[in-house]
């Protein structure tokens, strides 16, 4: 997924295809803040010559902790620390987190401490029960700082989800990685910092992971659809006649056709700052996309309730192209505020029309992401 970048869109760089990288930068949606879901930093680093980038900032801005008592930079001195900034609906983070989990397990005996910092994007991501559920679902066993007020984020001067900061035993930030990729380089940095700290018996073999579901790498070679927010300040390419009606219910209709990456509504919806909210049953969202995966961040308008939905591709049930959150007939249930994986198709990857019809009212849709 390509996600927010300050005033421009999301940086995405993978492989060495410059033309494709330029497309991805241009294709991503503009935002109104400084926070970005980033895919790949690709910054070269010479091991054994890692500079001191900064001193380990404070955790004092954290509003709570999971899996640990509150930690401080002072008490962590003498340990090699990996800081992982994340938010639980970010597909870029989902695809990097298996590596953070693997490194935490592999190197804990050598002195590595991995600390997640959960800094929310959407309002519902501040809910501690939602965060706790995500920590459990992702098998995150290392400490997680709850950063609902962006205190830790600002202390690190961070800009991205996901972001990794590598801190040596003296309490200095020695390296960073913004976005997906560069996993071998990141692990070698961990090994170097552990060696500098006096770790012995280090296994220098790099972790090898086979990921699946929403943690699987994106199909970058076929990805031509960028992330798109559905709330009115940040959405792009809305195609229903008359544009979005801000903060009031409106009966929308579908256009006769959609161009690539355009989307539209059918039924009575209210366009809010973060999401579009369905006011009556049988509302639809239609999206023309080009990608292997289609994901949608959504949830019930009233926590604890549920909404049934049905999806189709080019007017047909998805069958073997279904994501993990639907059956092969396209049916699913929205019962939690999170990202739902709706489509994972096989070749050929071409322009297709995605449609989701909600059979009940009371749902909010926040953002489409692709992979």
Q: What is the pLDDT of residues 191-245, one digit of tens each?
A: 999 999 999 889 899 999 999 999 999 999 999 999 999 999 999 999 999 999 9
Q: Which residue has the tokens 């503009």?
A: 30
Please write the tens of the pLDDT for every residue from 249-291.
Answer: 999 999 999 999 999 999 999 999 999 999 999 999 999 999 9
Burial, 311: exposed, middle or buried (Cβ in 10 Å; 0-12, 13-18, 19+)?
buried
Report the alpha-carbon angle 110-113-217, nearest 5. Answer: 100
Residue 185 and residue 32 in contact, taking contact as beta carbons nearer than 8 Å:
no
Query: Yes or no: is domain 18-215 CATH 3.40.50.2300?
Result: no
**Token reading at 363:** 């749902």
Could you tell me where in the chain the CATH 3.40.30.10 domains are found?
18-215
Question: What is residue 41's predicted lDDT score, i.e. its pLDDT?
Answer: 55
The pTM score is 0.88
Of 314, 234, 306, the C-alpha closest to 276 is: 234
Distance, CA of 147 to CA of 127 (rounded, Å): 11
Question: What is residue 40's predicted lDDT score, i.e. its pLDDT?
Answer: 62
Residues of the chain with pLDDT under 70: 1-35, 39-46
**The CATH number fitting domain 223-370, selected from 3.40.120.10, 3.30.70.270, 3.30.200.20, 2.60.120.260:** 2.60.120.260
Residue 211 and residue 324 in contact, taking contact as beta carbons nearer than 8 Å:
no
Question: What is residue 72's predicted lDDT score, i.e. its pLDDT?
Answer: 95
Question: What is residue 297's predicted lDDT score, i.e. its pLDDT?
Answer: 98
Question: What is residue 39's predicted lDDT score, i.e. its pLDDT?
Answer: 67
Could you tell me where in the chain the CATH 2.60.120.260 domains are found?
223-370
Q: What sections of the chain are H helices per DSSP? A: 18-27, 73-76, 91-107, 128-137, 151-155, 183-196
């Amino acid at each position: 997924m390509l996600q927010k970048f300050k005033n421009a869109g999301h940086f995405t760089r993978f492989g060495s295809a410059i033309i494709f990288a330029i497309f991805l930068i241009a294709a991503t949606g503009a935002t109104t803040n400084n926070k970005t879901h980033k895919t790949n930093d690709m910054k070269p680093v010479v091991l054994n010559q890692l500079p001191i980038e900064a001193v380990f900032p404070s955790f004092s801005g954290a509003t709570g902790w999971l899996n640990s008592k509150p930690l401080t930079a002072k008490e962590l001195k003498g340990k090699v620390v990996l800081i992982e900034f994340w938010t639980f609906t970010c597909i870029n983070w989902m695809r990097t987190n298996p590596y953070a989990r693997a490194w935490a397990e592999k190197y804990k005996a050598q002195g590595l401490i991995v600390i997640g910092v959960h800094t929310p994007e959407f309002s519902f991501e501040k809910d501690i029960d939602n965060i706790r559920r995500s920590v459990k679902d992702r098998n995150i066993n290392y400490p997680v700082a709850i950063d609902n007020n962006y205190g830790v984020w600002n202390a690190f001067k961070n800009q991205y989800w996901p972001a990794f900061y590598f801190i040596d035993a003296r309490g200095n930030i020695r390296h960073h990685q913004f976005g997906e990729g560069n996993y071998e380089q990141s692990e070698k940095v961990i090994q170097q910092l552990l060696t500098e700290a006096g770790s012995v018996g280090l296994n220098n073999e790099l972790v090898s992971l086979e990921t699946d579901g929403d943690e699987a790498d994106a199909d970058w070679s076929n990805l031509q659809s960028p992330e798109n927010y559905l709330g009115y300040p940040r959405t792009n390419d809305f195609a229903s006649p008359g544009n979005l009606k801000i903060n009031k219910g409106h009966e929308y209709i579908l256009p006769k056709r959609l161009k690539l990456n355009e989307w539209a509504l059918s039924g009575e919806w209210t366009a809010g700052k973060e999401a579009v909210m369905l006011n009556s049953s049988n509302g639809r969202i239609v999206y023309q996309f080009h990608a292997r995966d289609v994901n949608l961040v959504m949830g019930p308008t009233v926590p604890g309730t549920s909404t049934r939905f049905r999806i189709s591709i080019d007017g047909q049930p998805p069958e073997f192209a279904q994501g993990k959150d639907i059956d092969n007939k396209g049916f699913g249930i929205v019962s939690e505020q999170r990202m739902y994986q709706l489509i994972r198709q096989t070749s050929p990857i071409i322009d297709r029309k995605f449609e989701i019809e909600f059979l009940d009212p009371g749902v909010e849709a926040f953002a489409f992401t692709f992979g």
